[in-house]
Each structure stands twice: as C-alpha cells, then as structure tokens.
Amino acid sequence: MNIAENLQQVLSELPDGVRLVAVSKFHPNEAIEEAYRTGQRIFGESKVQEMTAKYESLPKDIEWHFIGHLQTNKIKFIVPYVALIHGIDSYKLLVEVNKQAAKAGKVVNCLLQLHIAEEETKFGFSFGECREMLAAGEWKTLSNIQLCGLMGMATNTDDNEQIEKEFCSLSSFFKEVKDSWFADTEAFRELSMGMSHDYHQAIAAGSTLIRVGSKIFGDRTY
C-alpha cells in the first residue's frame, strides 16, 4: 500500500478548480504524515475527538475539514481550528456553530448538506427544506458563519446512471441557490461531492471538492 503513489494518482486526475480532501478518518498519524510529505494539506475527519487529537499532534498548516455528522455538543471543540464543516444538515446546527464561533472570536466556513441519495441513512436537508430555510432569511443574522456552498452524498450503488442523476440534481440545485441567494457572495462557490468510488462522476457534474479516503489510504480499520 503506497499512500504517496495513490495520492499522486488521484491528484493527477483532478481538473483545475477541483480540490482533494484526503479522508484520513480511522487512519493513524503515520498515514497522514506520508500524505503530508507528498504535498497534501487538506484532510477530512468525521469524529470530533479523533480530529482534535490529530490536530494537536500534526503540522499546523494542515487544513482540517469536518465531514461527518456533527453533534451540537461537540462543536465547541473543533471551532478553534476547523477550516470547513461539510455537513450542516439543520438550521439548529448552523445557529450553534455561529454561537460557538462568536465565543471563539472567529468566522467558521460551512457547507449545507443536502439529502440526494435514496438511502434513509444519509443526513441532510431536502431541496424544499433548504429553499425554505434560505428564503426565511434568519441565517443572514449569523455573522460568525460563512456559507461557502453545498455538500451531498450519492446512493452507494453500482448503478452509474443513478449516481450521475443524483450528482446532477445537486449541481443544478447549487446553481439555483447561488443565483437566488448568493449571487454576490464570492465565498459561496464550493460543491462537495464525490468519494473514492464515484468521484469521476462527481467531477463531471461540477464538484469542486472530492472526499477520497480508501483509494489513498486503503480500507480503514474500525
């Protein structure tokens, strides 16, 4: 298992404007350090405690992205250093991130997570719920968060047509949201979609951030 070679392989496939989040969750510091030595700086974690421990012990120029399901009582632990939270799946969560960010005296970058898969296990707003929340406008008063775009996960299936359809639906919803509420917001430009098994389709549909783990680090040990 050569992490450096795997990483370079994935990076070589990325067009301009698409960034890689190397999903390092459940992998040891040594694996991250190898990817770091190869030049990777963005890493994704899904457990607050694990991400915080890694943040404390690894180089400080790493950009940590939180890609898991975030519980409100854990937000305060990652706010001081998190670069981007991918999975904001409720207005309540956004409010809590804003509150903890205000206490820490900083602005936290966030993506709204949309539920595009046909699986009940995935989290996220429906398109309707997201429209409703944005139209209500209360989010505009949250001065310690910056909405930077949308995130979604396709159904875990071998049906490429279905995956493509789901990614395209999120991509077109992104354009709608951008035009309706963020036309003048330069920061609102990220579309986080695509993982190890489907990132090629995600890129074709307009993804700007892909979240790749097993293809770089191998299968993780729980």
CA-to-CA distance for 152 and 70, rounded, in angstroms? Answer: 15
Q: Sort residue 215 into left (φ over 0), alpha (ψ -120 to 50) or beta.
A: alpha
Domains in the chain, CATH or no CATH each: 1-215 (3.20.20.10)
pLDDT 10s digit of each residue in the chain, 222 long? 699 999 999 999 999 999 999 999 999 999 999 999 999 999 999 999 999 999 999 999 999 999 999 999 999 999 999 999 999 999 999 999 999 999 999 999 999 999 999 877 668 999 999 999 999 999 999 999 999 999 999 999 999 999 999 999 999 999 999 999 999 999 999 999 999 999 999 999 999 999 999 999 998 665
